[in-house]
Amino acid sequence: MSAQPSKYASPDVLRHYVLDRARALPEDCRSLVIGYSGGLDSSVLLDVMAWVANQRSIHLSAIHVHHGLSPHADAWVAHCEAQASRYGLSIRIEKGEVRTRGEGIEAAARQLRQSAFQSCAPATIVLAHHSDDQAETLLYRLVRGTGVRGAGAIAEWHRTHTQVIWRPLLEIPRSALEGYARALGLSWIEDESNQCDDFDRNYLRQHVLPAIDRRFPSGKRNLVRAAKQFSEAAALLDELAGADAGPWQTGLNLSALRQLSAARQRNVLRYVLGECGVQAAEKHIDLVLQQFLGAGEDRIPMLRLGEHAVHRYRDRLYIVPWVQSVPQGQDVSPAIGEARRPVGWFGMLRWQPVPTGGIDPAHSGLRVYSRRQGLSMRLWAGGPTKQMKQLFQEAGIPPWLREQWPMIFRGDELVAIPGIGVASQFQSASGQVGWLPIWTPDGMAAVFGQSTD
C-alpha cells in the first residue's frame, strides 16, 4: 500500500497506475467485463477502465446484478444503463433471486454475483475491491476462524480454468476513490443497506475499522500488509503440498501421505480438497485423516462433503463429484469420431475404432444403463464367463463407480462395458474394424492397471 495514497485521487495518476497494472493481463485478453453495481467504487472503476481499455484497444462492457433486495433496485438498473450509455458501453442486466441456504443474505447475494460473473466466461471480470475492503475481509475472516489461506483475503488476480478475475484497485484506499470521483464530478448511487449494521461486514466497516483508525493510525495499512504476507505464505504452503501430494489426480497415495508429519498431512489434504473445489472445515480434515488413514485395509470408507465425495480404494484417496443416480436407456450408438456425454451421466463416452475386439458395426440400437445384478460376460469365444464383480476388480474400477459405470446393451443383452471389453458374440470378425467404447468419469483419471483386490 502506498505511503501517499491521496495522490491516487488525481484522475491522471490513478488511470496510469491501473494502465501499468494492466500489463499483467493475458496477452490474448481482448475483452473485459466490469462488475458494475453503480456505487462509488465501481463508478470510479468504470471511468478508469473506459480510459485504460481505449489505451489498450480492449473491448469493454459491464454487468449489473439485480438482486431484488432493495425497493430502489429498478432505479439502480436505470442509473447503470444510463452511465454505461454515457461511456458508449453495452451493459448486461442479470436478474436473480437471493436464496439463503443457511449462509445468510450477504453470502447468498455474493453467490448470486459470482454465478453471474461466471456466465461471462471467458471474458476477464474486473472488480472494484480496494484496500479498505481488503482490511475488512481479513478482519471478517479472522474473527470467523479462518486459516492461513483464508487470511490471504482478496487476491488481485484470481484465475480459474475458465475465467480470470482482476481487481486493479486493491491497493488503493477508498478515500482516494472518493477524491477521484469528486474531482471528475462522477455520479453514483448509495445502497441504503450499507448503513445497516445487522450485517457482519457493515458492522466491521462502521464500528470496528473506525475504532482501529482512531487508536492505530496505520492499522488498516498494516492489515493490508498482513493479508499480502498471509497470501504469500499460503502460496508457499501450496507449493509444498503439491510436491508432497505427487500426481494426486490419479488418486492420492496414502502410503506416501503416512510418511509425512501430521502438519504436512493436513496441508496436503487442504490443498487437494481445495483444488477439487471442496470447501472443507478443519473438522472435515480431521475426519478424513481418521477414517482414511487409520481404517483397516479391508475397509472402503466414504465421506460426503457437499457436492463431492471422498473415497479410499487400494490405499489411494479419490475426490469425485457426488452422484446419486443416472438416467437409463439412452441411445449411444457409435458415430465416427464422436465423443458424447449421455444426459445426466457424469463422464464422457468415446468410441474408438479398433482392428479387433470391438463391437461389430452391424449392431445398432445400443443403449446405456447402469449396473444390473446377476450379469456376467464372456470376453472371447471359448473363454471363461466372468461375473461383474470379478471383471470390475480385474479392471481396477473402484467400487463406488461400479454402480454408475455405463453398460452398453442391445435390447436385454449386455454388449459391452467400457474399460472392460466387448461380449464375444457382439465382436466384429477378425480383420474387420469394430467400435470399442471408452468411458472417462468426471473428476477421476483412469485408474486401470492397478493390482487386483
**Which helix (DSSP H) or strand (DSSP E) does residue 401 occupy?**
helix 399-402
- Structure confidence at residue 100 (pLDDT): 65
- Strands across the sheet containing 367-369: 330-331, 367-369, 407-410, 413-417, 421-422
What distance in Å separates the CA atoms of residue 153 and residue 220, rounded to the nearest whole number? 14
The per-residue pLDDT for 305 is 87
pLDDT 10s digits, 267-325: 999 999 988 888 888 888 998 888 888 777 767 788 888 888 888 888 889 888 787 77
How confident is the model at residue 444, as a pLDDT? 52
Asked whether the beta carbons of 46 and 83 are under 8 A apart, the reply is yes
Cell of 190: 448509495
Name every residue whose Cβ is closer than 8 Å to that of residue 283 and which is 6 or more positions away in sequence: none
With H, G, I as helix, E, B as strand and everything else as coil, classify residue 231.
helix
How does pLDDT run across 170-223, given as a tens digit for each residue? 999 999 999 999 999 999 999 888 788 888 889 999 999 999 999 999 999 999
Closest among 367, 316, 364, 351 to 433, alpha carbons compared: 351
DSSP states along 247-276: SGGG-EEHHHHHTS-HHHHHHHHHHHHHHT
Please count the other Cβ atoms lying within 10 Å of the Cβ belonging to residue 81: 16
Q: What's the distance, CA 292 to chain centroid?
A: 25
The whole-angstrom separation of Cα 290 and Cα 265 is 12
Residue 442 to residue 313: CA distance in whole angstroms: 17
pLDDT of res. 446:
37
**Residues contacting 428, CB < 8 A, separation 6+:** 356, 358, 359, 360, 361, 434
* Distance from C-alpha of 423 to C-alpha of 76, rounded to nearest angstrom: 64
Q: Would you say 28 and 44 are in contact if contact means Cβ atoms under 8 Å apart? A: no
Q: Where are the alpha helices (DSSP H) in 322-387?
A: none
Query: If we measure between CA atoms, which residue out of 368, 453, 384, 363 comes closest to residue 417?
Result: 368
Buried/exposed code over 387-410 (b: 16+ C-beta within 10 A; e: otherwise): ebeebbeebbbbebbbebbbbbbb
Instruction: Measure Cα distances from 158 to 208, 291, 347 in Å.
Output: 28, 33, 27
Q: Note the pTM of the prediction, 2 decimals.
A: 0.71
Rounded Cα distance between 115 and 331, Å, is 33
Reading the chain (453 residues) residue by residue, the pLDDT tens digits are: 444 446 899 999 999 999 999 999 887 788 999 999 999 999 999 999 999 999 998 999 999 998 877 888 899 999 999 999 999 999 999 887 766 665 677 777 778 888 888 888 788 999 999 999 999 999 999 998 888 988 998 999 988 777 889 999 999 999 999 999 999 999 999 988 878 888 888 999 999 999 999 999 999 999 999 999 999 999 999 999 999 999 887 789 999 999 999 999 999 999 999 888 888 888 889 988 888 887 777 677 888 888 888 888 888 898 887 877 788 888 888 875 577 788 888 788 888 888 888 999 888 889 999 888 888 999 988 889 999 889 988 888 888 788 888 999 999 899 999 989 999 999 998 878 899 998 888 755 434 333 333
Q: What is the pLDDT of residue 120?
A: 84
Q: Directed axis angle between helix 11-21 and helix 174-184, to 10°?
A: 120
